[in-house]
A and B are shown apart, each in its own frame.
Chain A
Amino acid sequence: MKPLTRNQVAQRIARDIPEGAYVNLGIGAPTLIANFLPVDREILLHSENGILGMGPAPPQGDEDWDLINAGKQPVTLLTGGAYFHHGDSFAMMRGGHLDICVLGAFQVSASGDLANWHTGEADAIPAVGGAMDLAVGARQVFVMMDHQTKQGEAKIVERCTYPLTAAHCVDRIYTDLAVLDVTGRGLIVREMVEGLTFEELQRRTAAPLVRG
């Protein structure tokens, strides 16, 4: 059994983003998805700092520091893209106008609770940014993460032990091992990497799984 690389997970998620979707890719690994969006689909990327129709990074030397993404890296604007202020940008999230957001996570619970902003450590400086607004507002919330921590602990759990970003918000989880849907019938396994058994996946998951 060979877990997927970050790029392979990004590529897998990109396949599920349909033509015409308005999409926000969270800071970190989800930004990789932009590299794999099918060229024959028009997909509009939203950046919380006031961009719709965000394009890839500019060539070196062409950076414009008034045109950055949520991670504060230089980006470009596609033909037809638009700029707007923060009130409009978060109305797009909170008002249910974004079709999909993809977020990283520390933990996701069986009922779709998301924990991705704070490890709860006493000396950590808390920072939340737009994570709570995206989790609550986007019509579909996808999570992209490793199935387990580097120490081998499950990240899909019965109940999150880290502080919540939002409750019951996650629709689908893409990990390096599997694709799972969060449903009223529980966590349904839609795909597994080659060579992985359902039993082994269950062993690496701290919440009951349902065969898809």
Chain B
Amino acid sequence: MVDKTVASPEAAVAGIPDGSTVMIGGFGRAGQPSRLIDALIAQGARDLTVINNNAGNGETGLAALLKARRVRKVVCSFPRQVDSFHFDALYRAGEVELELVPQGNLACRIEAGGSGLGAIYTPTGFGTKLAQGKETRRINGRDYVLEFPIRADFALIKAERGDRWGNLTYRKAARNFGPIMARAADCTVAQVVEVVPLGALDPEAVVTPGIFVKRVVMAGATS
């Protein structure tokens, strides 16, 4: 019997080694898998490369992981926010590396990573500082920058409902990076509000098919 559900957030993040590359879903706090991040902090993995749209808000979730000094490098589009003070301090002290990626390039590089593509040509960033030193090409009269896929060892995402095969649905705009990150990691771990029996999810409405998911953990509703 295929059963991807695990009993606890601790079990869900077991085996993430030091030095791993970890995608973390969410746009700010919406869709952020805070229970998995808390469990990752308790688990102790360090020297992590984290891929997220932002670089933490306030004191919880990704901000707490940064504060605990577990992160060597952040790949994101928008680190600077009113409440990103933990990232800001570490960055200014030179204690965390930043790779800044335009948000759409972040998304399509992750999509490329999950789709088995070798690289992509994107118009975004052409002629800017963020494309300096990168290969470019003019295709049908439009200028593009060559960008490479992003993959991760683990993806930690939040979904709304999941079943034991790993099928997932999401809630409102908390979906954001979840479905594309799920496809781009060797081991995708989903924190769900509710685990439901097989067949309870409408097959027409499944957003992430279970093939992309390795572990599902019920975490209830989180703020």
Binding site for B on A (CB under 8 A): 47-51, 64-68, 72, 77, 83-87, 89-90, 93-94, 118, 123, 125-133, 136-137, 163-167
Beta-carbon contact of A128 and B172 below 8 Å: no
A66-B31, A72-B28 known; A130 vs B176 contact (CB < 8 Å): no
- Segment among B3-11, B38-46, B104-112, B147-155 that sits at the interface with chain A: B104-112
A66-B31, A133-B103 known; A127 vs B92 contact (CB < 8 Å): no
Q: Which of A48, A125, A126, A163 contacts B103 (CB 8 A)?
A: A48
Which chain B residues (157-187) contact chain A, with CB distance < 8 Å?
170-180
Residues of chain A with a CB closer than 8 A to B80's CB: 125-127
Beta-carbon contact of B123 and A94 below 8 Å: yes
Beta-carbon contact of A86 and B223 below 8 Å: no
In the A-B complex, the 6 residue pairs with the smallest Cβ-Cβ separation, listed nearest first, are A133-B104, A90-B104, A127-B80, A66-B174, A132-B102, A66-B172
Residues of chain A with a CB closer than 8 A to B176's CB: 49-50, 85-86
A48-B103, A51-B173 known; A167 vs B180 contact (CB < 8 Å): no
Task: Report B200 CB to chain A, min CB distance, Å.
Answer: 20
Q: Which of A48, A50, A77, A167 has the most CB of B within 10 A?
A: A50
Residues of chain A with a CB closer than 8 A to B61's CB: none
Residues of chain A with a CB closer than 8 A to B104's CB: 90, 93-94, 130, 132-133, 137
Task: Report B51 CB to chain A, min CB distance, Å.
Answer: 12
Beta-carbon contact of A123 and B92 below 8 Å: yes
Closest partner residue, chain A, to B143 (CB atom): A167
Beta-carbon contact of A83 and B173 below 8 Å: yes
A sample of 7 cross-chain residue pairs with beta-carbon separation below 8 angstroms, ordered by A number, consists of: A49-B27, A67-B30, A86-B180, A87-B110, A125-B98, A126-B100, A127-B100
A136 to B130, CA, bound (A): 14
Task: Report B131 CB to chain A, min CB distance, Å.
Answer: 9
Beta-carbon contact of A90 and B107 below 8 Å: yes
Q: Which of A87, A164, A166 contacts B180 (CB 8 A)?
A: A87
Q: Mark B111-132, 1 if CB is under 8 A from A, else 0.
A: 1000000000011111111100
Task: Report A63 CB to chain B, min CB distance, Å.
Answer: 11
Q: How many B residues touch the partner, as a band? A: 35 or more
Residues of chain B with a CB closer than 8 A to A123's CB: 92
Q: Which of B91, B105, B108, B207 contacts A125 (CB 8 A)?
A: B91
Residues of chain B with a CB closer than 8 A to A90's CB: 103-104, 107-108
Beta-carbon contact of A132 and B130 below 8 Å: yes
Residues of chain B with a CB closer than 8 A to A87's CB: 107-108, 110-111, 179-180
Task: Report A139 CB to chain B, min CB distance, Å.
Answer: 13
Closest partner residue, chain A, to B107 (CB atom): A86
Q: Which of A127, A131, A165 has the most CB of B within 10 A?
A: A127
Residues of chain A with a CB closer than 8 A to B128's CB: 132, 163-166
Task: Report A114 CB to chain B, min CB distance, Å.
Answer: 10
A65-B30, A132-B102 known; A94 vs B122 contact (CB < 8 Å): yes
Beta-carbon contact of A94 and B77 below 8 Å: no
A128-B100, A132-B125, A136-B123 known; A89 vs B172 contact (CB < 8 Å): no
Q: Tell me if B29 counts as interface (CB < 8 A to partner A).
A: yes
Beta-carbon contact of B127 and A166 below 8 Å: yes
Residues of chain A with a CB closer than 8 A to B180's CB: 85-87
Q: Tell me if B88 counts as interface (CB < 8 A to partner A).
A: yes
Residues of chain B with a CB closer than 8 A to A93's CB: 104
Residues of chain B with a CB closer than 8 A to A66's CB: 30-31, 171-174
Residues of chain B with a CB closer than 8 A to A51's CB: 173
